[in-house]
Amino acid sequence: MLGMIPRRPTAFLSAAATTRAALTTLRTRPPGGPDRWRRVNFAGRDVDLYGGPAVIAGVVAGAAALAGRPRAAAGLAVLGAGVCGAYDDVRGAGDPRRGFRAHLRALRAGEVTSGAVKLFGVPAAALAAGALLKERPVDKVLAGVVVAGTAHLVNLVDVRPGRAAATVLALGDPGLLHAEPGATLAAASMGAAAAVLPDDARGRTMIGDTGAHALGAALGAAIAAGNGRAGLAAHAAGLVAAAACGDTVSRVAASGPRGAAG
């Protein structure tokens, strides 16, 4: 974080403060009542889902430090991915089907699962964001792949408390040294992740697909904005490989140091 310049700490602090404020507000006045926001985590304990909407609010606030197309791209990526994730959190609760193949099989049978909404909705938002971030057609497509792939990667590691937020902090830190607007977008994604991490790791809240996809899309937008074609191609290749080995990525994330069970 030593490479931060004034706009970067502003984005980080704005994202962190807004995330914490949103968490507090949701806990005080949960829309629809608290039962609507309760889920059971991997350890079988009740947690809330306030972390997801909170990180969306945080990243959007942090990205406000930018102007024009980069800010619009970040908002589009984060809101698009977050809404798709929220749909899955609500409609996909209890659905045991996981992975691209299961949702595509359901789609061929005429059923549009919440996973299928994510499968098509997140890349669509990512490609639209990539089109705003880059000028040349090839770069626009590569940027979209990076945004969608990073959203998917962060969701893959969200299998234990704190894993997704910690991943965003680890992967986002090098981005603080990149050119603008990538560095500011990295700071915004890290600010939101840092703010939610303590509650997430202790099992007080769960960011769900809403927060994992939103944080991942924000980080992906930062990576895309901070890299040229060679960097975009390298990141895209790595992310596609991670998606192809998604079950392995999730198993490795689940087998790391244990967070709070609650």
CB under 8 Å to 148, separation ≥6 — which residues? 122, 123, 125, 126, 127, 217, 220
Q: Any idea which residue has 């409609």 for tokens?
A: 91
Task: Grade residue 201 by pLDDT with cuts at 50, 70 and 90.
Answer: very high
Q: Tokens standing for 184?
A: 């500011």
- Kindly indicate the confidence band of residue 83, based on its pLDDT and cuts at 50, 70 and 90: very high
Backbone angles phi, psi at 39, to 5 degrees: -140, 165
C-alpha span between 121 and 161 (Å, rounded): 26
Mean pLDDT rounded to a whole number for the chain: 89
Mean pLDDT for the stretch of residues 196-221 = 95
Sorting pLDDT into bands at 50, 70 and 90, what band is 32? confident
What is the pLDDT, as a whole number, of residue 231?
A: 96
pLDDT exceeds cutoff 80 at 3: no
pLDDT value of residue 36: 86
Residue whose entry in the numeric block shows the structure tokens 């403060």: 17
The token pair that represents 156 in the structure block: 């893959």
Residue 260 pLDDT = 47
Q: What is the pLDDT of residue 61?
A: 97
Tokens of 39: 């889920």
**Residue 196: predicted pLDDT:** 98
Cα separation, 149 vs 195, in Å, equals: 23
Dig out the tokens for 226 from the structure: 């901070």
Q: Please name the residue that has the structure tokens 């404020």.
A: 21
Compute the distance between CA of residue 231 and CA of residue 224 in angstroms, rounded to an integer.
8
Mean pLDDT of 107-119: 73
The secondary element (H helix, E strand) that includes residue 170 is: helix 163-172
Tell me how far apart the alpha carbons of residues 154 and 219 are, in angstroms, rounded to a whole number.
Answer: 9
Beta bridge partners of 205: 48
pLDDT number for residue 91: 76
pTM score, two decimals?
0.89
Structural domain boundaries of the chain?
7-27+46-253
Considering the chain, what percentage of its residues have pLDDT values greater than 90? 71
pLDDT category of residue 257 using cuts at 50, 70 and 90: low
pLDDT category at 261 given cuts 50, 70, 90 is very low
User: Once rounded to an integer, what is the mean pLDDT over residues 5-30?
Assistant: 93
pLDDT for 107 equals 66
Q: Please tell me the distance from the alpha carbon of residue 234 to that of residue 119, in angstroms, as a whole number.
A: 22
Binned at pLDDT 50, 70 and 90, residue 119 comes out as: confident
Q: What is the pLDDT of residue 92?
A: 66
Question: Measured in whole angstroms, how far is the alpha carbon of residue 223 from the centre of its chain?
Answer: 13
Once rounded to an integer, what is the mean pLDDT over residues 230-251?
94
Task: Give residue-wise pLDDT tens across range 33-47.
Answer: 988 888 887 777 889
Residue 61 to residues 15, 57, 71, 154, 185: CA-CA distances in angstroms? 6, 6, 10, 20, 11
